[in-house]
Amino acid sequence: MSLASEFKEFAMKGNVVDLAVGVIIGAAFGKIVSSLVGDIFMPVLGRVIGGINFSDLAIGLGKDPTGKDVLIKYGAFIQTIFDFAIIAFVLFMTIKFINRLKKPHPADAPPPAPPPKSEILLEEIRDLLAKRV
């Protein structure tokens, strides 16, 4: 089998294609959530707190050799944390929903098979020995 045909077989497996679709949709979803946080949540939260613009929150460390300010932008970091929290929550709810769809309902599940005769006999012997002690 040649390297090219082996790679083609690998790339066309369902899991690889599903992963690629998931990454693309995840990237698009990430942009939506970033816009939701940056353009809607954070301005409202900043207004409620007292007119703070989170994207402007920074600590100045001085200037670099070209004269530009060197900043620690902790406001942008706070926005990123909100992005992550929302994405994590939505993924959690999605996976929870998918797992609920995958679980068979108790009525649909076949009844458990009875234990083998040897196991029943061993349990009886164990119980008899426990009574003697």
Average pLDDT over residues 58-65: 89
* Domains of the chain from N-terminus onward: 3-96 (1.10.1200.120)
Higher-scoring residue by pLDDT: 16, 42:
42
Helices 14-36 & 3-11 angle (0-180, nearest 10)? 50
Helix (H/G/I), strand (E/B), else coil: 71: strand
Q: How confident is the model at residue 108 (pLDDT cuts 50, 70, 90)?
A: low
Question: For residue range 28-41, what is the model confidence (pLDDT) as tens digits?
Answer: 888 888 888 888 88
> Can you give the pLDDT at residue 123?
92
Question: For residue range 74-96, what is the model confidence (pLDDT) as tens digits?
Answer: 888 888 888 888 888 888 888 88
Which of these, 55, 35, 36, lies nearest to 46 by C-alpha position?
A: 55
Question: CA-CA distance, 39 to 133, in Å (whole number)?
Answer: 73
C-alpha torsion sign, points 18, 29, 75, 64: positive
